[in-house]
Structure 1
Amino acid sequence: MDTEAQHTERDRSPGPATGPTGEGSRSVRRSPSGRSARMSLRTAALAGAACTAVVLLFSRFVLQPFLIPSGSMEPALREGDRILVNKLAYDEDSGPARGDVVVFDGAGSFAPPEPTDNPVSSVVREGLATLGLAEPADTDFVKRVVGTGGDRVVCCDRQGRIEVNGAAVDESYLYPGDTASEADFDIVVPEGRLWVMGDHRSSSRDSRDHLGSPGGGMVPVDRVIGRAEWIGWPAGRWTSLGGTDAFRHVPESDRSGGGHG
């Protein structure tokens, strides 16, 4: 009986695996692992936030993806394409040139001056649009520059071509079957503004459609967001959006214009 009692007492005594000391030891062994996991998650979250901030800043100030919302620039750009817009393409000494494909804010020229979107949804949408994950704002447009400040742009000559400063322009980039314009016009582009048109002329609302609007359909140069440089997506359409030589024979204007011709 004494022996059995001694065994019983020894069985009740805390052991290294089951007693408080054992539990404490296991707790100590788990703690560094738990802290390490929490630190890893925190580090990953901070790294992700930093990367997102860098991408947003890069997109906002250097190279921004832009989702093409319509077919108004076909065949060069198709609906659903994601282009990369170079925001450093222009400065005070070098502005948009004839033939450039530009993205611009049309508020006040192509759209109402003050959009009435909900402020919160506007911020979210702007962030997604900056990353090319959502359609651009209703006031953002992509068109081709046809006339710059001082240019006289006329449609059309006897062969159905646009004339800029008296020189006919062979627009090889137009959508197959389209004419230069079904509407006649004769305008002089004011200094600091642009006359822009879509390549798919029969499916584009551009400067022609806003002749009677404030600004006469002309886009202020300081509203240009940047120049379209590349098609980045889909992968099968990855290509550079090179310039065009359609305007190479156009003479410079005297830069004295400032209204309708």
Structure 2
Amino acid sequence: MTSPDRDPVPVESDGTAHPTETGRGAEPDPAVTESRSRSFPGARGPRRERSLPFGVETLVLLAVAVGLAVLVKTFLLQVFYIPSESMEPGLVENDRIVVQKVSYWGGGTPERGDVVVFQDPGDWLGEEETRTASNPVTKGLDALGLYPGGGHLVKRVVGVAGDTIVCCDEAGRISVNGLPMEEDAYVLDEKNIKCRGPMLGDCDWQAGPVPEGTVFVMGDNRGHSADSSFQMCAEGDTACVPGDEFVPVDDIVGKVMAVFWPVGHAGLLDRPDVFADVPDPS
């Protein structure tokens, strides 16, 4: 049945359709096909390669992000929180800090004045302070450095290998290799603390020479810091182990670079200038 409003397709004398027309049996004109494709956006175009399903793609991206976070934590940076008042006034309880590890790569060692985070050498912390992640969720957060698992301390390096630390002179100052330390810039000034090395129970002690591969550390809140001076053996203390006051360099995670939370307390940490004047051990 032929529609009366459609012109017949011209044919050649041999009965074949004219090559420039688009009637039935004719080859399509590329120009017309392209025009139709533009006119009908929904028309099928060239096949596209199928991408991953949305759920799978999300899991892949998440796995990559977690992998990068673990690598950063392992080799570059790690987040910790301040669990006590021992480093006031510079670091306040519950501050969040960033610890960088690059400074101690390739044989680098802590320097006097560095604020460092280190693993408990063995008996410095109580049971509550050494708690660890206990379920898959908290273990995962701990792997990313987002769970305060405990078991670490933060203190300032006061003496390195070979140094001798003495407490205290008439002004209540500790001395390192004979140099009295002017520590007003970073040590908490408490009126009821008569010297800046009191945790052993008095202001008359000497530590060192610091053994090779270890450091002597102190908190900036000298009256409330269970640091190296607190771990020293008092006279007549038979339960104390001599040498426990020194922290192995291998236990140090890294140097505190900055406080990032809370925002009002955020900022970079610098090494106090007074440590640059300490003479080498004789």
What TM-score do you get using the length of structure 2 for normalisation?
Answer: 0.69
* Matching of residue 141 in structure 1 with residue 161 in structure 2: no
Instruction: Structure 2: give runs of 5+ residues left out of the alignment.
Output: 1-49, 234-239
Q: Structure 1 pair 116/75, CA: closer, same or farther in 2 (3 Å)?
A: closer
2:121, 2:247 within 8 Å by CA — same for their partners in 1?
no
Matched-pair contact (CA < 8 Å) for 1:66–1:136 = no
Q: 2:246 aligns with which of 218, 231, 251?
A: 218
Corresponding position of 2:172: 160
- What SS class does the counterpart of residue 247 from structure 1 fall into? helix
Structure 1 residue 196: Cα displacement:
0.2
- Once residues 103 and 121 of structure 1 are traced to their aligned partners in structure 2, the CA distance between those partners, rounded to angstroms, is 22
1: distance between equivalents of 2:94 and 2:145?
10
Whether 2:187 is the aligned partner of 1:174: answer yes
**Matches for 1:29-48 after TM superposition, within 5 Å:** 39-48=53-62
- TM-score normalised per structure 1: 0.74
* 1:74 pairs with one of 72, 88, 112: 88
Give the conservation status (yes or no) of the 8 Å contact 1:69–1:136.
no
How many residue pairs end up in the alignment?
A: 215
In 2, the alpha carbon distance for the partners of 1:122 and 1:70 equals 25
Deviations 1:125-167 (A, max 9, x none): 55434544332422x1100000011101000011100001111
Contact 1:109 1:210 in 2 (8 A): no
2:63 equivalent among 45, 49, 52: 49
Distance 2:106 2:177 in 1: 24
143-152 or 235-244: bigger deviation: 235-244
Match for residue 104 of structure 2 among 72, 90, 96: 90
Contact kept, 8 Å, 2:188 with 2:221, in 1: the verdict is yes
- 2:86 touches 2:224 (CA, 8 Å); kept in 1? yes
Match of 1:229 in 2: 257
Q: Which residue of 2 aligns with 1:187?
A: 207
RMSD of Structure 2 on Structure 1 (CA): 2.6
Are the aligned partners of 2:73 and 2:145 in contact in 1 as well (CA < 8 Å)?
Answer: no
Identical positions, percent: 40
Aligned partner letter, 1:227? K
Decide whether aligned partners of structure 1 residues 219 and 124 sit closer, same or farther in structure 2, where only a CA change above 3 A counts.
farther
State the alpha-carbon separation in 2 of the partners of residues 170 and 60 from structure 1.
36
1:107 Cα deviation (Å)?
2.9
Distance 1:72 1:87, change over 3 A: same
Rounded Cα–Cα distance in structure 1 between residues aligned with 2:218 and 2:137: 30
Contact 1:90–1:226 under 8 Å retained in 2: yes
Larger relative helix fraction: 1
Whose RCO is larger (CA < 8 A, sep 6+)?
1
Residue 56 of structure 1 deviates from its aligned partner by 1.8
- Partner residue of 2:124? 110
**1:85, 1:167 → 2: CA distance?**
29
Partner-residue secondary structure (3-state), 2:55:
helix
Q: Which residue of 2 aligns with 1:251?
A: 279
CA displacement at 1:220 relative to structure 2: 0.6
Mark the structure with the bigger radius of gyration.
Answer: 2
What amino acid is the match of 2:159? G
SS state at 1:71 partner: coil
Q: What SS does structure 2 have at the residue aligned with 1:217?
A: coil
Paired residue secondary structure (1:253): coil
Aligned to 1:128: 141
Structure 1, unmatched stretches of 5+, are 1-34, 255-261
CA gap of 1:233–1:109, structure 2 versus 1, over 3 A, is: same
